[in-house]
Amino acid sequence: MTMHIVVLGAGYAGLGAAKRAARRLRGTEVRVTLVNVSDRFVERVRLHQLAAGQELPRLPLRGLLAGTGVELVVAGVTGIDLGARVVRLDAAPYEVGYDLLIYALGSGADLDAVPGAAGHAFTVATEGEAARLRSRLAGTARSVAVVGGGLTGIEAATEIKEAHPGLEVRLVSAGPVGDGLSATARRHLHRALRRLGVTLDEHTPVAGITAEGLLLGDGRETPADTVVWAAGFRVAGLAAAAGLATDGHGRMLVDATLRSLSHPEVFGAGDAAAARVAGGRSRMSCQTGLPMGLRAGDAAADLVTGRDPRPARIRYVWQNISLGRHDGVTQFTRADDRPLGAVLTGRASARFKEAITRGTVWRMRHPGPYRPHA
């Protein structure tokens, strides 16, 4: 009987999983179907560039899947029936049955974190949201407050200010900006913010967002006609609603081979899954999403061909932060994400990140053998 592997989500993890499984199972009767809400692969790590006004390359999924044998279904996932092994969709064919499922639906901006965010804030979490912010910045925006001192917030604030120097841009963070970086990396980051003219408000919790700007935790107000929310991401509730074992954030709990702890016919990869890494569970990032996807595709192929799936060995190597188009900071890390003393800054870091980003797309086209880090 023909086996059917269904992959949900065509981000870094899902696309990698589908292509890896198809490559491993070429010449067999196994079907691989990739389900995604759009017909394009989105370079999520570039969405701050799109928001700032730059054009991004179009990457149709059908082109990336050409010659692989992977069937593409363009539809949103509305539910999963684990007992019947059926995925329900919002467009034709409306239902897809599976023997093995790879769940890689990613994450989105957490707009429920503070009152008013859903109604008043922009984000750079999806292509559509970044395009909406782009239109705003090219139109009526005069002052921008970016909330969130992590990588997304830093990149959004610096990219926007460099592309729109006449805008007043403020970066607001509940804690220190660049937390987790070494002292050398933080110094360069703060110099870049000053050079660009980005106003920095650290240790400034935001309690709410209105049409006029930010309500701060201490009761003060910060005016801004445009607020960008970059203070956290969350996953869809589909995994938990279906009955899969999840953590307190709704992420799938998986074993060392990325199989669900509750349903071994389901694998999890990318932001939607909490995999074991050195120091705990994986954080949401492209750096872990792509290797998790490749490993999940391998593991599914192993099961189909009668092999025992090998444990995934996921580790961190660096954090790449762009500071506009010609500056950046690359923090090299230990396997558990703790910073090393090694740091790359300036144009060298910007070129390094661009090479990594382009190389990631190349891996999407050519998902070769998985080689875990030692």
% of the chain beyond a pLDDT of 90:
84
Could you give the C-alpha distances from 201 to 35, 59, 163, 190, 205, in angstroms and in order?
A: 41, 37, 21, 12, 9
Nearest to 273 by CA among 248, 298, 251: 251
3 state SS of 336: coil
Q: Which two tokens stand for residue 230?
A: 């970059």
Residues of the chain with pLDDT under 70: 1, 367-374
Domain at 109-232, CATH from 3.40.718.10, 3.50.50.60, 3.40.50.300, 2.30.40.10: 3.50.50.60
Is 4-107+235-315 assigned to CATH 3.30.70.360?
no
Q: Do domains 4-107+235-315 and 109-232 have the same CATH topology?
A: yes
Q: What's the CA gap between 285 and 63, in Å, rounded?
A: 25
Assign residue 167 a region (left: φ > 0; alpha: ψ between -120 and 50; beta: otherwise).
beta
pLDDT at 47: 96
HSE-up of 91 (CA within 13 Å, CB side)?
9
Q: What's the CA gap between 229 and 231, in Å, rounded?
A: 6
Q: What's the CA gap between 107 and 325, in Å, rounded?
A: 26
Q: What's the CA gap between 352 and 333, in Å, rounded?
A: 15
Burial of 108-130, coded b for 16+ CB within 10 Å and e otherwise, reads: ebbbebbebbeebbbbbbbbebb
pLDDT at 373: 37
Nearest to 80 by CA among 25, 128, 9, 142: 9
DSSP codes of every residue in 128-192: HHHHHHHHHHTTT--EEEEE--SHHHHHHHHHHHHH-TTSEEEEE-SS-TTTTS-HHHHHHHHHH
Tell me the pTM: 0.93
Q: What's the CA gap between 105 and 252, in Å, rounded?
A: 11
Contact 48, 156 (CB under 8 A): yes
Nearest to 183 by CA among 22, 78, 340, 334: 340
pLDDT at 320: 94
Determine phi and psi for 134, rounding to 5 degrees: -55, -45
Query: Domains of the chain: which residue ranges?
Result: 4-107+235-315, 109-232
pLDDT at 365: 73
pLDDT at 1: 57
